[in-house]
Amino acid sequence: MIDLHFCPTPNGWKIVIMLEETGLPYNVIPYDIFQGEHLKPEFAAINPNHKIPAIVDQDPIGGGAPFPVFESGAILIYLAEKTGQFMPSDPLGRSLVLQWLVWQVAGLGPMYGQLNHFGRYAPPPQEYAHTRYLKESERLTQVLENRLRVSEFLAGEYSIADMAVLPWVMGTKMFGIDLEQFPSVTRWLQTLSERPAVQSAYSKKATEPNPKYMQEKAKLNDEEWSNAFGEKQMASVRVG
Ligand SMILES: N[C@@H](CCC(=O)N[C@@H](CS)C(=O)NCC(=O)O)C(=O)O
């Protein structure tokens, strides 16, 4: 059994998609990050970075004590290795998957994330920051478009790299990126959205987004702001 420490955001949905695709049994443990549930000291044993998602594998590869994994990219790799699915074992095929996976976790995800922050959460005026992240996000989406023009999936076969990118691309409308300029991305999005595992991942009650945080401009009270972006964030990792 896999315990999935989850909140309904793109990084969380990546893991639900992989769990659905592989058929591994899992148990969703929901967190409300705006209430600071991920900042509790005991969560550090599972994720020292105090972010969602994380998993605990109760039946880890090779046996032994329950094994925690944090960072969505590392979780996808762990689950691919555990099941032998969605990542080829030949070194070049594996490298191709890892290249696009790392591109997502180090590039597309953080840039779309900042675009979301400055477009929907930060108080005005944020003109420079918002434009900076919009332009870089559009550039990265063009990189995705170029790749999907010549390849059905990101790394040849459907893989964990596609699963990592998909939930972020699903959010582009909310972040203010117009996918009409990106026909190959639209084709890929349509194909992947029709996969039964993807539909199942988004249809579960525990994985539904909270409408309160899905408005065009998310409005947080002071406590929620501190938990998500302010002092409580810092306090959770401060020692002594
Ligand atoms: N690099 C991390 C990012 C995780 C992350 O930023 N998670 C967000 C939700 S998508 C979170 O926990 N936000 C609450 C916070 O920052 O305190 C990963 O890919 O797992």
Question: Within the chain, which residue ranges are assigned CATH 3.40.30.10?
Answer: 2-85+204-237
The CA distance from 126 to 118, in Å, is: 7
Q: What is the dihedral of CA 96, 100, 103, 108, to 10 degrees?
A: 170
Q: Are 35 and 60 in contact (CB under 8 A)?
A: no
E strand residue ranges, 1-136? 2-6, 26-30, 54-57, 67-70
Query: What is the CA(149)–ligand 1 centre distance, in A?
Result: 30
Half-sphere exposure of 157 (CA within 13 A, CB side): 11
71 lines ligand 1 (CB under 6 A): yes
33 lines ligand 1 (CB under 6 A): yes
CATH 3.40.50.1860 fits 91-198, yes or no: no
Residue 201 corresponds to which amino acid?
A: A
Please give the share of the chain, as a percent, with pLDDT higher than 70: 100
Report the 10 Å Cβ neighbour count for 112: 25
Atom of ligand 1 nearest to the CA of 51: 12
What fold, for 2-85+204-237? Answer: Glutaredoxin (3.40.30)
Atom of ligand 1 nearest to the CA of 39: 17
Model confidence over 34-85: pLDDT tens digits?
Answer: 999 999 999 999 999 999 999 999 999 999 999 999 999 999 999 999 999 9
H or E segment at 197? Answer: helix 196-203
Q: Are 148 and 154 in contact (CB under 8 A)?
A: yes
Model confidence over 147-181: pLDDT tens digits?
Answer: 999 999 999 899 999 999 999 999 999 999 999 99
